[in-house]
Structure 1
């Protein structure tokens, strides 16, 4: 039996206050792919939206990461997480999405 590598498309979008460099896109995609690895075969696309809620003003938990996952045959599922640091916002949102997928897919399997 041969193993087929499944790639989940991760699209990263930023607002005008966050520079969407190639390095940032690769880092975000890496975090999302690592967190959602158990669901990669069912997930066709993941959209990540990064925004700075307070722009130049600063403040606690002003970076928002919203993630929307598209599963084969289902409506998109979305979550968001706010944090002071970009990487914390991405990891927090990815963790929330992973829990949501576990719950959603677990309910489907129990039927």
Structure 2
């Protein structure tokens, strides 16, 4: 999956950050690899680095999902590392939620083994277990 990192001018070491972010997200979201085409990350300093603040780093992540609308999350934190990791966790949760709903909807349309006459007959003839 392709990872693109965009940063504001107040964020330094963009090349190293992009390499680390790509490795981290590919590992952290590996279970969704076949469903995601790319992830766009935007890191910014809300007060542009001119003054201190409690929670002034923002990380927004947008996952492009094959055949579906993109899923986006935002996280604020005191430093860019916490902002990034928090957004990655939020994105994993949002993807779990989105794909969980999709699985439940698809499951409703499937036939169950309870409707298969051979399985029902085989189960009904089994001796009770103690």
Q: TM-score, normalised by structure 1?
A: 0.89
8 Å contact from structure 1 (residues 13, 20) kept in 2: no
Q: Please state if 1:96 is matched with 2:97.
A: no
Q: Please state if 1:77 is matched with 2:37.
A: no
Q: TM-score, normalised by structure 2?
A: 0.76
Unaligned runs of 5+ in 2: 106-130
Poorly superposed stretches of 4+, deviation over 4 Å: none
Post-superposition shift, 1:20?
Answer: 4.8
Q: Please state if 1:32 is matched with 2:15.
A: no
Secondary structure of the equivalent of 1:60?
Answer: coil
Matched with 1:4 is none
Query: Number of aligned pairs?
Result: 104
Matched with 2:46 is 53
CA distance in 1, matches of 2:24, 2:10: 21
Ranked by relative contact order (alpha carbons within 8 Å, sequence separation 6 or more), the top structure is: 1
Q: Which structure carries more helix by proportion?
A: 2
8 Å contact from structure 1 (residues 31, 90) kept in 2: no
Unaligned runs of 5+ in 1: 1-7
- Structure whose alpha-carbon radius of gyration is higher: 2
CA RMSD of superposed structures (Å): 1.0
